[in-house]
Amino acid sequence: MLTLFIAGIFLAAVGAGLLGALVGLGGGILIVPLLTIGFGLDIRLAIGASIVSVIATSSGAAAAYVRDHLTNVRVAMFLELATSLGAITGALVATHLNPRVLFFLFGFILLFSIVPMIRKLGEEIPANVTNDALAVRMKLASYYPDRALGRDVSYEVTRVPLGFGMMYIAGIVSGLLGIGSGALKVLAMDTAMRLPLKVSSATSNFMIGVTAAASAGIYFWRGDILPEIAAPVALGVLAGATIGARMLVRFRNATVRRIFIVVLGIVSVEMLLRGLGIT
């Protein structure tokens, strides 16, 4: 039975990683609902298993994006100051919270992450953006090769302090709930700092690993990362994400997105209800 249970977790994690990769959200957001609602585990242990799987998928994907020069390493490094501090804050706060509060917050963040999937945020390449003082000082402006346009696109970076503040919150959410909080990170870079969408997505992915690593150590030494659960989750999500990245070219994005939105909607309501103590 124990072996079957572990095999079940592995297969579910493959599915989560696959679906996550197909819509570009990372599978992390599905792991906690799967382990709690699906496998009846304590939400703290689910968060512990999820946070290490987030490191695995983010690092795998980041390796590819960095090579393609889509990631702005300087912007990422600077904002990681905020996300890593936030993540430690979140992980420390999480122990003092009632599990029901965690369920509720998770459901709420899930609902929130659906919004950008329905309505695409910002412009593909923002116009009329001028570097602010910090961006000039730290030389944050850069360029990226746009394959669709067939040329290099240069861009400037603005409202750096606002983006930094939003990143601290994204870090707290990541450390608190064991997710990458990619949606919040993209929001900070896209709407506040006005980076091109492709750069925001790649840079967000790059930062997720560092953010997750900041809180993962705390969960690890606290004993919330159980080997027999974290191992199938990490390997499963990694396998699923790898397969998903290969399948991406053959799938119609819109269809997958629609399925994913429905799944996320159902899951978030379920998590909210648990938070309210209704189910």
Partner 1 sequence: MDVELPEQEVLAARGPGGHPLEIWISYVLRIGVLTAGAVILFGLVLYLIEGPGSGRPTTLDQLTADGGQPIEVSWQSIVDGLKTLEPSAIILLGLLLLILTPLSRVAMTLILFILQQDWIFVAITGAVLGILVIGLIGVGS
d(CA 107, CA 179): 12
Residues of the chain by 3-state class (helix, strand, coil), percent to 5: 75, 5, 20
Identify residues 133-152 at the interface with partner 1 (CB under 8 A). Answer: 137-139, 141-143
d(CA 182, CA 265): 17
Each residue 188-227 as x (binds partner 1 by CB under 8 A) or -, in order, gives ---------------------xx-xxxxxxxxxxxxxxxx
The reply on whether position 3 binds partner 1 by CB under 8 A is: yes
| Angle, CA of 67, 180 and 192, to the nearest 5° | 80
The reply on whether position 14 binds partner 1 by CB under 8 A is: no
Judged by beta carbon, residue 106 or residue 260, the one nearer partner 1 is: 106
Helices (H) and strands (E) counted in the chain, each on its own, are: 11, 2
Judged by beta carbon, residue 228 or residue 262, the one nearer partner 1 is: 228
d(CA 221, CA 54): 18
DSSP 40: -
Judged by beta carbon, residue 19 or residue 234, the one nearer partner 1 is: 234
The reply on whether position 243 binds partner 1 by CB under 8 A is: no
CB of 264 to partner 1, least distance (A): 23
The reply on whether position 87 binds partner 1 by CB under 8 A is: yes
Q: Please name the residues in contact with 51: beta carbons below 8 A apart, sequence gap of 6 or more.
A: 28, 174, 178, 179, 212, 215, 216, 219, 225
CB of 276 to partner 1, least distance (A): 19
- Amino acid 138 reads M
Residues that bind partner 1 (rule: CB under 8 A) add up to a total of: 69
| Angle, CA of 63, 158 and 185, to the nearest 5° | 40
The reply on whether position 44 binds partner 1 by CB under 8 A is: yes
Q: Given the structure tokens 């512990």, which residue do they identify?
A: 48
Footprint on this chain of partner 1 (rule: CB under 8 A): 1-3, 5-6, 39-45, 52, 55-56, 59-60, 62-64, 66-67, 69, 71, 73-74, 77-78, 80-81, 84-85, 87-88, 91-92, 137-139, 141-143, 154, 209-210, 212-232, 234-235, 238
